[in-house]
Amino acid sequence: MSNANRALHAVVSDLEALLRGDGENHWADWMQRVIIQLEQGDPSAPESLLRAYGGMGSFNDLALGQDYSSGHFQWRADAGELNERLDALRGRAWELARAIRDATASPH
Q: Quick check: 97 and 50 in contact, CB under 8 A?
A: yes
Query: pLDDT value at position 88?
Result: 98
Distance separating alpha carbons of residues 58 and 73, to the nearest angstrom? 21
Kindly state the average pLDDT of the residues 34-58. 95
88 residue type, one letter: A
The better pLDDT of the pair 68, 49 is held by 49
Query: pLDDT value at position 107?
Result: 63
pLDDT, tens digit, 9 for 90 and up, residues 25-39: 999 999 999 999 999
Distance separating alpha carbons of residues 101 and 45, to the nearest angstrom? 9
For the chain, where are the alpha helices, taking DSSP H only? 3-21, 25-39, 45-50, 79-105
Query: pLDDT value at position 58?
Result: 95
